[in-house]
Amino acid sequence: MGVPARRLGWRAAKRASSVDVHLLDAEPTSEERAAVDAFLGPPLSSWVGADRADNGHSAHGGHSARAERHQLLPTLHALHEHTGWISPGALNYIARRLTIPPADVYGVASFYALFSLEPRPGRVLHVCDDLACRCAGSQALIDTLTEEVGPPGADREGATWLPSPCLGQCDRAPAALLTQSGQAPMERELVTVGSEDLLGAIGGATPSPPASAIPWQAGQPGLRLLARVGVADPESIDDYRARGGYAALRRAFELGPEGVIREVVDSKLMGRGGAAFPTGRKWDAVARQPRRPHYLICNADESEPGTFKDRVLLEGDPFSVIEAMTIAAYATGCERGYIYLRGEYPLAQRRLEHAIQQARDRGFLGQNILSHGYSFETELRKGAGAYICGEETAIFGSIEGYRGEPRNKPPFPVDRGLFGKPTVVNNVETLVNVLPIVLEGGAAYARIGTAQPDPLSRVISGEGSTGPKLFCVCGAVAQPGVYEVPFGTTLRELFELAGGVPGGGTLRAVLLGGAAGSFIKPDDLDLPLTFEDTRAAGTTLGSGVVLAIDDQVDLGRLLMVIAAFFRNESCGQCVPCRVGTVRQEEALARLLSGRTRGTVQDELALIAEIGEAMRDASICGLGQTASSAIESAIERLAVFNGGPE
């Protein structure tokens, strides 16, 4: 990972020519051809890669092949898992099989950080050096690897290592991800690791799969979202049903589609992915669309540094996500759904695939669900290391087989989304909230949290902060993990649940909302955690990240990590973000080095100006929030201005 593949060019002239719109002379190896054919099936005509008949003068199958463009990302995954990189010949073969110009295939393959377009060892260890892992000492691990193995990318007997952005294991930091390509490809998370663990993985040892994360609240009464996590067997549909599973789906069939939407509207459920849009309003808009088919996407691409709540739900209670998707699809008239899962979650992938198959085998998914005459099918799509694909319109491009770049709005997804059709996009936590809403009723759900919005919130959304909320508490706390609390719980109360700062350390700052959020001071611990209260305080809940920072962390260096993250993850589509994230990082680097252009105040003024330009002119939320945490640290914590370093 490290520098995303989309920022790396093919150096050799022959490889550079593969961005042509014409097929090249480069041919795939037999291994590469077999990997692609194993996924797509054997080619049926010379148009898509089969040998031309001796007396053949025409080919067929082009139209049907072009209709399969949405298989491009899964095909690249299938190839990469077996060969470890995407060669010009393999790229050429995929282009021919799907009748896509090589330039398009190259553009997609080079967009994702988990794909390599240059030869590299088959065994790769991705070591997280992002926010939570930095706070947990990952830099010392990286220093050890550099000394013992060599610099990132160095080949050590068929293995190498690379620094990585956040791997979503912040509750078990420091973390790494081990991948092994070949006939039996393997992906394995390494959590709470030491230098010996990493050196062993580089040396060929296969670590045991980590157990699912068990919340500290597991088994406590009153939980709604985490009620089964750490208690029920996540691989048993019978255990899921014995603990109330699929009761909500049966109730949904009793209510009917309009009744389900009415309950969701009455619940005042706000989206939990960061944008906080009213879920009921979104569902109603799609349900009213006459154009068919309708699509549903479960956004499980949580790549915000410090975020891991969706991972805990997917690993610990996967059937709840499938059930909630089925209810959402039934209410909105969706015939097909996709779970877009981030590429660094192999355990969640296995659990979801197993849950989908079990639900299908038992009649809870597929044709004529529970004999109610309603049919819905869903499939899992795996991301490949692109933070921007968490943006709701960028997901469309990724699933459709294009680069995952955000689209202009309007048209909005409820009108023109996936494949140009009305589409519902909800994240994992939002969907799981639907189960208690359907079972308990929207009005009862709305009584949890803060039912009455403040005037500003009413103007923006017309809703309050209702229901339970999951928070990802990590960093300098004794018990990092996911916590379920009702909206209105204060930050201080949340820290008390997490055991406070360990070892008598001093809390220096809190990062709310992740890299796209903002810093607050320890003086603000009595802040109620609601949409309206955080907005009034000039901060955000974002994706639910609560990263505690103690006096052992170099805040200036932490800001550089945030700046580098946004520079790497910018898709490059719009100038304000593409250029602004680079200039922001450069200004921070000068401040840290002491070699400023002009005075410190001049550099701080430049950072503020860059931030304003990105907020005002970027096409999507990445650029619009890329400076939020950095500017908040400068303003509130006086970093670079005599404050904590």
422 close to 381: Cβ distance less than 8 angstroms: no
What pLDDT is recorded for position 25?
Answer: 81
CB atoms within 10 A of CB 535: 16
Domain coordinates of the chain in residue numbers?
5-109, 123-202, 237-447, 469-550, 555-636
pLDDT digits (tens, 9 = 90+) for 105-152: 999 999 999 999 999 999 999 999 999 999 999 999 999 999 999 999
pLDDT digits (tens, 9 = 90+) for 336-374: 999 999 999 999 999 999 999 999 999 999 999 999 999
Domain 123-202: top CATH class:
alpha beta
| CA gap 516, 423 in Å, rounded | 25
The angle that helices 72-83 and 88-98 make with each other, rounded to 10 degrees, is 150
| CA gap 39, 33 in Å, rounded | 10
H-run or E-run covering 621: helix 621-625
What is the third-level CATH fold of 469-550?
Answer: Ubiquitin-like (UB roll) (3.10.20)
pLDDT at 3 over 90: no
Q: What percent of the chain has pLDDT over 70?
A: 90
pLDDT at 14 over 50: no
Q: Bigger pLDDT: 23 or 21?
A: 23
576 close to 614: Cβ distance less than 8 angstroms: yes
Average pLDDT over residues 218-238: 97
Residue whose token pair is 């060019």? 9
What pLDDT is recorded for position 459?
Answer: 34
Which pTM value belongs to this model?
A: 0.93
Residue whose token pair is 């799969």? 209
Domain 555-636: top CATH class:
mainly alpha
pLDDT at 451 over 80: no
pLDDT digits (tens, 9 = 90+) for 524-534: 999 999 999 99
Scanning 126-227, the segments in alpha helix (DSSP H) are 131-135, 138-148, 195-202
Domain 237-447: top CATH class:
alpha beta
Amino acid symbol at 269: L
How many CA within 13 A on the CB side of residue 315?
Answer: 23
